[in-house]
Every structure is written in structure tokens, then in C-alpha cells.
Amino acid sequence: MNHTAAELAKYLGAKLQGDGSLALTGVAGPENATATDLIYLDAPKFAARIEKSAAKCVLAPPSTRVAGKTILEVSDPKFAFAKAAAWLLPHATPKSAIHPTAIVSPTAKIAENVSIAPYAVIEEETEIGAGTTIGAHAFIGRASRIGTNCILHPRVTLYAGARLGDRVEIHSGAVIGSDGFGYVFGHASGEDRYWKFPQVGRIEIADDVEIGANTTIDRGSLETTQIAAGVKIDNLVQVAHNVRIGEHTVIAAQTGISGSSTIGKRAIIGGQVGIADHCKLEDGAIAGAQAGIPTGKTIRGGQIVWGTPARPLEKFKEQYAWFARLPELAERVRKLESTTIAKAQHTETD
């Protein structure tokens, strides 16, 4: 569906400068845009790209002027661009139907306007909310609950009893509610073997969460693994049993979060971060890429940490600078040692 620049300005609460009747059909980068695509300018250094673009409508900071362009003035162009994209290019809605090859238990409760693709398996006593899409070969375990307008892409697996809120999107290959990695070795009893600790807790995912491809989130052992509203988790992330993640936290790819750790609201976790068990990252904490956070450590609210073991960013940069100079410092030490030895030998000769 096409929209006009004036309609988009009203939706975003933006100030319109230029032709409000300009048609908008999509979004693009400046170099690839057509006349009906929306683009954005968030820094003056990119102004030349905007001027050369074929796009006629630009999201830009207040008081920006670009010759030949209709400007929608917003305080945060990149954020507004993301909102505009969701509005201009909504998800295609699959036809509401259950494919003949899908296996759906007669005890499952399927609401209206649900799409279930080929070879999906829906076990007994599950509930699927209105407007939800279940992709091909997906597996929805017994007594799971899925809210409204969710999207489960092909080959998503929900173990028994998983709970999903509304508007949750889970990408292909993700596994939700698998057993956590919990074993007890029989030292005191004299049994030289591991016994599996019970993994009988729950997994609860709140509204507006997005989970990337091939990510795994374990159910609680005796408690509940909880992913709060608005959390965004990248591909190939491991979230262990009993972990709790606060609202609107983002976690980048290949991060591993060990059991019983807690991450607060609006935290930022970079790629390949390792978080050991029973750690706590308070609200707004930031862990830079490849940071390693040892068992039981607390990262204070708003603190930025980097490195392994994780330490405050300024401390990390100072230490890393010295580390980078080690070859030079080693050479200086060798020269000083040579000079000292030579002087000592000269003194002995005298």
C-alpha cells in the first residue's frame, strides 16, 4: 500500500518541509533509492550522498534543507527511519489456513486467522493466538502457549510448556525450552559418574521479543527462564537455565549466558561475550564484544566493560595500550640489561 509524505509525517509526528503529496512505496539506502523510496540523513558528513540520491523524501534533523528534497524533520532520523520502514513495509500476512500435511492435535486450541505451514507439528493441549504464523517443519510441544500475531519461521522448535507473549518473532532453527546443562558428580557418594540435575522449570518469553536464527534458550532447572518484553537476541546465542533478561535489552551473535545470571533492562551485550554463572548486569550495563565476565561478578548500571576478565572500558584501553607496546618495551629492557651487564663487567675489570 502506498502512502504520502504528509501521511508519514503525521504518523511520525514529524515537521513536513516540501511536497506532502509525494508518494512513498518503500525505503532504501541513498545510492540504491528510487524517487518513491524514503531515505534518512543523520549526520552532516553524509549530505552529499543525500543530494545525489534519486529519492525525493528524506528524514533529517530539524532545520535541514536539501535542494529538491521533501524533508521530514525528526530529532532521531535513524530511529524514525526504522519506524517508517515497519509502517511502509509491514510483514506479508500469510493466508489463514492449516496445510494438509501439518499434524495438529485435536486437543490443540487454534484461534482465528492462524497460518500453519506444511509439515508443522502441533502437539496436544497447545494454544495458538489469533494472527500467528507457524512456519514449515516447526514443532510446537505439548501444552505450549503462543500469543497473538507471532511469527515462528521454518524449523523453530518449542519444547513442551513454552510460553510466548504477543508479537514474538523467532527465526529459523531456534530452539526454545530445551534442557539446561546441569549435572552433579557423585564425589561424596563414591559414585564416579554424573547425574543429571532436574530440568523441569519453565521458559517464558514476553511481548515483542525477537530471537535470531539457531539461538537456543533453555528452560529453568527448578525455576523459570524469563525473557522480558522488547528483548532482541541475535543469531547463535545461548541462554542457559534460570537466566533472566530485562526489558529492551539487546544481545549480539555468539554470546553465551550461563545459568542463573541476570541481565537488567536496556543492557547492551556485544558479540561473542561470555557471561559465567550467577553474574548480574544491572540496568543499562554495556559489555563490549568478546568480553568475559567471571562467575558471580556484578556489572553496575550504566557501566561499560571490555576484555577478559571484563573491566571498565577506560582501564581496558589503558592496559591494552601497554600490551600493544610490549615488543618495544621488551627491546628497551634487553638494551638496559646489556648496558647494565657491560658496566658491571667494566667495573670488575677496573
Label residue 285 exposed, middle or buried (CB < 10 Å: 0-12, 13-18, 19+). Answer: buried
Is 153 considered catalytic here?
no
Query: Using CA atoms, how far apart are residues 252 and 25, in angstroms rounded to an integer?
Result: 31
Which is nearest to 220 in space by CA: 237, 206, 240, 190?
240
Can you read off the three cell numbers belonging to residue 291?
568480553
The strand pairing partners of 278, in sequence order, are none
Which uninterrupted H or E stretch holds 320? helix 313-324
Please give the C-alpha separations between residue 179 and each of 161, 192, 221, 259, in angstroms, as whole numbers: 12, 23, 8, 12
CB under 8 Å to 60, separation ≥6 — which residues?
40, 41, 42, 50, 66, 71, 72, 73, 74, 77
* DSSP string for 97-127: -B-TT-EE-TT-EE-TT-EE-TT-EE-TT-E
Gyration radius of the chain's alpha carbons: 27
Query: Using CA atoms, how far apart are residues 16 and 199, in angstroms rounded to an integer?
Result: 56
Candidates 153, 171, 241, 248; catalytic one: 241
For CA atoms 213, 170, 39, 72, give the dihedral sign. Answer: negative
Which is nearest to 174 in space by CA: 150, 155, 151?
155
Can you read off the three cell numbers belonging to residue 171?
527465526
Active-site positions read 241
